[in-house]
Structure 1
Amino acid sequence: MDKPIKTFYAKYGEALRYLIVGGLTTLINLVIFFCLTHLSIPWFWANIAAWFLSVLFAFIANKKLVFSSSNTSASVVLKQSVSFFALRGASLLVDTAILFVGLNLLHGSPLIVKIIDQVVVIALNYVFSKHIFA
């Protein structure tokens, strides 16, 4: 039993760790978004704040836990963080577009629209992150 688990983890460990970190990142994003919107902050600004704080968490967690990037020299961390935030900025555009269409045009439930939005964003971010920490 031990060997099949080790084999499975060796093959899929990175993806599993990414899913866990992605789930936590999504949870952080959702909690901040809904706390701020319940404080009457417009969805756009709530989403920007939720994005920034969740991306900061995701950068640290992905670097350390998912992709095991151990290089901590200032130049490498700066390059990785700029790339990470820039690519996550691209997914922020998709995020904002989904929220705009779902909330403003389709008048959908904020919870359902935000969850759908986060599923799409997680998939995009995995592809982006894999190239940054390689």
Structure 2
Amino acid sequence: MNAINYGTSESMRTLQQLWRRYHAVLAYLFFGGLTTVVNYVVFGITNLWTPYLVANTIAWLLSVLFAYVTNKRWVFDAQTSTTGAVLKEVTSFFGFRLLSYFIDQLIMIIGISWLGGNPWLVKLIDQVIIVVLNWFFSKLFIFKNR
């Protein structure tokens, strides 16, 4: 019985160490996945009645709002104590997301208009690329030193 308990507690310590070490990456993957779902679902719904670039813009806006809240609170645990610091953080977050928005739109134009790809497949490939870009933007520039 002691060997089982020892192994279990040792495994638990190892998991806790891994969680502490990779918390931001794991949380970003989880919430980035949810952000991608928000983006993909909103795109799919709005693309039924609007052109794909308009649908992509609406999906981008709603998913960026979702991403800001989740990234600030649960991924990077960003504590901003002044209005000026919050404004700087929001400006930085949306500024870099705006950069990824233009890359997003370019991928959609190339994939759908130029190459004639399926909008759902192009959007899926697009989101994988954008999630990776946004991780680097967030980690290196927006929520640094947190």
Equivalent position of 1:32 in the other structure: 42
TM-fit CA distance, 1:11: 1.4
Would you say 1:79 and 2:65 are equivalent positions? Answer: no
TM-fit CA distance, 1:72: 4.0
**2:28 counterpart SS class:** helix
**Structure of larger gyration radius:** 2
Which whole-Å deviations, capped at 9, do the CAs of 1:79-104 have from their partners, x for residues lacking one? Answer: 11111001001111110011001100
TM-score, normalising length: structure 2: 0.88
| Structure 1: stretches of 5+ with no match in the other structure | none
| Structure 2: stretches of 5+ with no match in the other structure | 1-10
Query: Which residue identity lines up with residue 10 of structure 1 in the other structure?
Result: R
Aligned residues: 133
Would you say 1:121 and 2:133 are equivalent positions? Answer: no
- Counting aligned pairs with the same residue, the percent is 41
RMSD: 0.8
* Mapping of residues 1-134 of structure 1, within 5 Å: 1-38=11-48, 40-130=49-139, 131-134=141-144
User: Separation in 2 of the partners of 1:70 and 1:94?
Assistant: 29
User: Separation in 1 of the partners of 2:57 and 2:117?
Assistant: 20
Query: Which residue identity lines up with residue 4 of structure 1 in the other structure?
Result: T
User: Separation in 1 of the partners of 2:88 and 2:62?
Assistant: 19
